Amino acid sequence: MDRRMFFWIVLELVASTCSSAPVSESIAVSVGDSTSVGLGQTVLMPCWLSPPQNADNLEIRWYRGDNFETPVILYMPGKADWVSMDDSFVGRVSFDVKDSTSGGRKTGDGTLKLTNVTIKDEGKYTCYVSSLQEHDSASMNLYVTETGSLPVLSAVWREDNTVNVSCESEGWFPQPELRWSEDPDKDRATFVRDSSGLIRVHSWILVSASSEVSCSVGLPNTKGLTVRLHLEKNIPPPPEESGSSTAGWIAFTILLIIMMVMVIGFMFYRKKVKTSAESNEGKNQGEDQTDEKKSDECIEERRMIFWIVLELVASTCSSASVSENFAVSVGDSKSVRRGDTVLLPCWLSPPQNAEDLVIRWYRGDNYDTLVILYMPRVANWVSMDELFVGRVSFDLKDSTSGGLKKGDMTLKLTNVTIKDEGKYTCYVSSFQEHDSASMNLYVTETGSLPVLSAVWREDNTVNVSCESEGWFPQPEVRWSEDPDKDRATFVRDSSGLIRVHSWILVSASSEVSCSVGLPNTKGLAARLHLEKNIPPPPEDSGFTGGWIAFTILLIMVMVMALLGFVFYRKKVKKSAECKEGK
């Protein structure tokens, strides 16, 4: 190692001597701001000379920390290539340009390119540039980050009717933050670093047997990955006694039914009166709605006639300057997320001025209900479909397009909604010719992370349900336990988005995961680890809940009967005394 170091020192002195002639006496080195990069990615660390000058005859050395003698990369004037003396960077570093306008070393650009970034690459990097007369350096920090796995929740039932819920996630860097919805300010997390430098976090919390809890894990100052768990517990009944508990509830039910019979007739009468009143009111409203519908149809008919006449006039006026033959082309079908903006390209072949043509975009088969309509000799375009008002306009299919003058009639649709999905037709006409072409627009929306719920059953199994909302189109649900069985239900809300719910029965000690996603895409998954400590059966006091309820109700009936009897006796006695007085 000493001989290798001596060789490079001598080579540097010789190179510096050779580089003395064409280099400016003053060198000022600048570097970019400190940067953050994900594990495994590529990063550029800019370094340049001010003022710009040719750096081919300068030594350019990048080193990390204080390891000046073990450079990350070293360029020596007079050498055909550069070298790296730090074994951890061999094959991963090179010189690059800081931007597309840079001229490389000939303009003083000594930018370092680092590929396949690892955790150990984090640190301070210094760009050192020297000639025989002058040297300067500047430093910047490189931060490496890695987002870990989705947290896994585990639930362990305890004998005191509480649940120990733990949250675990791995593959993070730097150390993540963990927050519970139940106790966000309390820090009870433990962190373990694996052999690759990534961090695994584990935390736990005690909650009641029927509760909802969420755990969020994320890097500082970022939005974390969150999973939620809904807990319910059906406490199993005590061991079979002798049928007395069932008999108690039966007696309670019979007595309760007898007491409710007297009010049923009154409730039925009230309902009948209310139904009759609503029926009369509905007839009156129906007549009003019919009149309003007829009025709207008349307005729409007049509006349609106006635009048809206007189109005929415009087509007549546009006959002079338009080629007799043209063909309309559109782009491929597109998929766009709800709320985004999309361009639906449409153009003429061969290219020609379309300012004197009638251009209409319509959806589906609604030729007369236009998404957008352009008329020659009219200053602007219009939209006849109220759904698209304020959200459509003409745009360019690419940066080289000349717009309508070159036959580009691209439709721009902003703030896309679920209802916008469908087939769109671009229809172009002149007085002599017309043509059209269609394309499909697909709208998608990724829903929420699945929420798992666990309900313990008496047969020592667990009903685990999985629910997620905000999807379009209909998502797919897959369970790790039974991936091929379809037991999902789907409900569409008022905005057109879909909520999915599915369930599965598993053993009381098991691990299960549920994944929800759009077709042919990677779904959002949530996992749950289940364990159960079966509590001892409750002590048998010989007086179960059914008999308690029956006894209370029986006492109330007896008290009412006794009061009635006393009142009756008192009334009879008073009547007898009155007769004796007479």
Q: Which of 85-89, 298-302, 327-331, 332-336 has the lowest mean pLDDT?
A: 298-302
Question: 266-288, pLDDT tens digit by residue?
Answer: 466 556 655 655 555 555 555 55
The pTM assigned to this predicted structure is 0.53
Q: What is the pLDDT of residue 240?
A: 47
User: 163 pLDDT band (50/70/90 cuts)?
Assistant: confident
Q: What is the pLDDT of residue 20?
A: 41
Whole-number Å distance between alpha carbons of 6 and 12: 10
Q: What is the pLDDT of residue 321?
A: 45
Q: At what angle do helices 545-581 and 244-317 cross, to 10 degrees?
A: 100
> What's the total number of domains in the chain?
4
Question: 529-549, pLDDT tens digit by residue?
Answer: 887 655 444 445 455 667 777
Neighbours of 534 (CB within 10 A): 11
Q: What is the pLDDT of residue 117?
A: 94
Q: What is the pLDDT of residue 272?
A: 61
- Looking at the fold, whether 433 and 339 belong to one and the same domain comes out as yes
Nearest partner of 230 among 454, 449, 524, 500, judged by Cα: 454
Q: Residue 179 falls within a domain, yes or no?
A: yes
Question: 403-442, pLDDT tens digit by residue?
Answer: 999 999 999 999 999 999 999 999 998 878 889 999 999 9
- Looking at the fold, whether 487 and 405 belong to one and the same domain comes out as no
- Looking at the fold, whether 72 and 190 belong to one and the same domain comes out as no
Q: Residue 557 falls within a domain, yes or no?
A: no
Q: Residue 190 falls within a domain, yes or no?
A: yes
- Looking at the fold, whether 425 and 511 belong to one and the same domain comes out as no
Q: Tokens 């599965």 identify what position? A: 504
User: 97 pLDDT band (50/70/90 cuts)?
Assistant: very high
User: 44 pLDDT band (50/70/90 cuts)?
Assistant: very high
Nearest partner of 162 among 206, 123, 127, judged by Cα: 206
Q: What is the pLDDT of residue 319?
A: 40
- Looking at the fold, whether 120 and 44 belong to one and the same domain comes out as yes
Q: Which of 20-29, 169-178, 332-341 has the lowest mean pLDDT?
A: 20-29
3-state secondary structure of 213: strand
CATH number at residue 166: 2.60.40.10
Average pLDDT over residues 377-396: 79
Average pLDDT over residues 568-576: 75
Q: Residue 548 falls within a domain, yes or no?
A: no
Q: What is the pLDDT of residue 165?
A: 87
Average pLDDT over residues 341-361: 91
Nearest partner of 191 among 177, 208, 211, judged by Cα: 177
Boundary residue ending a domain (418, 444, 470): 444
Q: Residue 290 falls within a domain, yes or no?
A: no
Q: What is the pLDDT of residue 558?
A: 83
Q: What is the pLDDT of residue 129?
A: 95
User: 245 pLDDT band (50/70/90 cuts)?
Assistant: low
- Looking at the fold, whether 365 and 326 belong to one and the same domain comes out as yes
Q: What is the pLDDT of residue 159?
A: 76
Whole-number Å distance between alpha carbons of 87 and 359: 65
- Looking at the fold, whether 162 and 211 belong to one and the same domain comes out as yes
- Looking at the fold, whether 417 and 461 belong to one and the same domain comes out as no
Q: Residue 510 falls within a domain, yes or no?
A: yes
Phi, psi of 362 (to 5 degrees): -140, 160
| Residue that wins the pLDDT comparison between 228 and 3 | 228
Q: Residue 312 falls within a domain, yes or no?
A: no
Average pLDDT, the chain: 80
Name the percent of the chain lying above pLDDT 90: 33
User: 40 pLDDT band (50/70/90 cuts)?
Assistant: very high
Q: What is the pLDDT of residue 260?
A: 65
- Looking at the fold, whether 458 and 437 belong to one and the same domain comes out as no
- Looking at the fold, whether 24 and 134 belong to one and the same domain comes out as yes
- Looking at the fold, whether 120 and 32 belong to one and the same domain comes out as yes
What 3 state SS string does 488-515 have? CEEEECCCCCEEEEEEEEEECCEEEEEE
Q: Residue 566 falls within a domain, yes or no?
A: no
Determine the straight-line distance between the first and last CA of the chain, rounded to whole angstroms: 138
User: 443 pLDDT band (50/70/90 cuts)?
Assistant: very high
Boundary residue ending a domain (444, 478, 500): 444
Nearest partner of 61 among 15, 98, 26, judged by Cα: 15
User: 244 pLDDT band (50/70/90 cuts)?
Assistant: low
CB 389 within 8 A of CB 373: no
Boundary residue ending a domain (221, 237, 264): 221
Nearest partner of 62 among 137, 130, 127, 139, judged by Cα: 127
**DSSP one-letter code for 294:** H
Tell me the residue range of the domain where 522 lies.
Answer: 451-532
**DSSP one-letter code for 27:** -
Whole-number Å distance between alpha carbons of 469 and 88: 47
- Looking at the fold, whether 11 and 98 belong to one and the same domain comes out as yes
User: 261 pLDDT band (50/70/90 cuts)?
Assistant: low
User: 491 pLDDT band (50/70/90 cuts)?
Assistant: very high
Angular region, 496: left φ>0, alpha ψ -120 to 50, beta rest: left
Question: 211-241, pLDDT tens digit by residue?
Answer: 888 889 999 988 888 888 888 765 444 444 4
